[in-house]
Each structure stands twice: as structure tokens, then as C-alpha cells.
Amino acid sequence: MAFNVYDMLGAINAAGGISKASKFFVEITPPPTLPIDYNIFFLCENAVLPGVALGTEEIRMPGYGIVEKRPNNVAFNDVPLTFLNDSNGKVLAFFHQWVQSINNFNKNTNPAGTAKGLPMNTFAYPKDYFGTVNIAHLDDSGEQIINYTLLEAYPLAVGDIQVDWGLSDQLVRVPVTMTFSYWDSETLDPGYVDYRSEAVYNATQSTAARVGFENKLEWEVLNFTDPQIIQNKVNLYAGFLSFL
């Protein structure tokens, strides 16, 4: 079959044209401990539509000969986002406090207190700092082409920002790296539910909820009760270690 440029153009036009990289928006749903009172997604200057990769191991089925690659895990790369910084500093404050809700590293302002429910130099439970990030790719009319939802997302890094007296005509940009467990999209097959899949799901969720609740109780005991209870816990743990 001979190549015909008009056939190619016809196929592109039949598909609605080629989408443009400049048409997108990012919407963030932060964890409950971090309310957001302004539309931060209007300030996201660039983003990445996430991919997915299969990790593999090499095997030889008969023990010799041709090497086959068999998948054994799924990997998702972290997503870099760049935000324009507002003159009120709300973008920086938002991401700084999100990171602080993961680990309270500020030992200068109030070392004996708590921030975001965390004593100094402690880490939160994942469910308390997980958020959601939606990255939507749009067509020229503003209609959605595809939407990615990054689930169990949180900022892995808030990058350094260079300021310089010679950059009077430059805007301040905040680089943020978001990590997440997996993404969802309408391009994926939603699958179906049968009695076996539902039973496995319910059992898994029940166990996770029970373990999470018990851990939360231990956390509250260790951090918000009188010193004697805390000392009793320490003594119990020390006795356990002596048997190891």
C-alpha cells in the first residue's frame, strides 16, 4: 500500500485531531488535616501524565537456552509538578504543611507541642497524609480527553527555589515531586465483581481496618496520656527486648 498524506490527514481529522500538551489542569485533594481554601490548580504550570511499567525477571523454562522475561511487579514513576508561587506564599505554605503533616520536623518554634497532630520528629500514619491528585488532559474546546487520578499521593519533595537580584523579570516557580501508590483512569477496564473477588476484598479491608485501629490506639496511648502509662509501655518493651 502506497503512502498517501491525505489518508493520514483524514485519519487524524477523523480522530478529532492531535491533542496539545498545553491543554491540562491539575486538581489536588489534600488529606483531611490539611484544608485548602483556594484553587491551587490554577497555578500549576506543568505536569506529567503518568505512565506504568512492568518489572520483570529473566528465566529459562527448561533451565537453559532462550531467556524469557516474566513480569513480577508493576512500577509507577513519581510525578513532577511545577507551581507558580503566589505573592501571599500560599503555595509554599500548602506544600510545606503537607510535608509537616507527614513528619513534624520543626523543633524550633514549639518543640514541646504538636503540629498537625504530631509531636516533634514523628511520622504520621499513611492514611492521615494520603491525598489525591487529578491530572486532566483537555482538547481545544476544554473538554476532557483523559483524566488520571493519582491515589494515595503525597509530596515526596518540595524542591529548592533560586532567587537572584538579576532575575527581576522572572517568576518564582515551586517544583514539587508527588509520589503515589497507583493511578486510575477511564482508559482502564473497570472489571467486574463476583462472589470470590468480593469475599477477598471484604476480608482484606476488614483486616486492614482492624490493624489500623489497633495501631491508632497505641499511638494515642503513647502520645496523649500521662507519663506513668508511657513508662509502663517502655518497661514492657524493654522486657521484651531482653528475651531476644
In what helix (H) or strand (E) does residue 138 lie, and over which residues does it extend? Answer: strand 131-138
In what helix (H) or strand (E) does residue 94 lie, and over which residues does it extend? Answer: helix 90-102
Global pTM? 0.74
Give the per-residue pLDDT at 81: 96
Question: pLDDT of 93-144, one tens digit each?
Answer: 999 999 999 998 877 766 666 777 788 888 888 989 999 999 999 988 888 9
Report CA-CA distances (Å) from 26 to 150, 203, 231: 11, 35, 47
Residues above pLDDT 70, as percent of the chain: 79
**In this structure, what DSSP letter does residue 113 have?**
S
**Nearest of 31, 100, 95, 98 to residue 109 by alpha carbon:** 100
Cα separation, 18 vs 137, whole angstroms: 12
Cell of 195: 462472589
In what helix (H) or strand (E) does residue 173 lie, and over which residues does it extend? Answer: strand 173-179
pLDDT band per the 50, 70, 90 thresholds, residue 220: low
- Span 3-18, mean pLDDT? 74
In CATH terms, 5-190 corresponds, of 2.30.110, 1.10.10, 1.20.1260, 3.40.1350, to 2.30.110
Give the per-residue pLDDT at 3: 72
- Span 30-54, mean pLDDT? 87
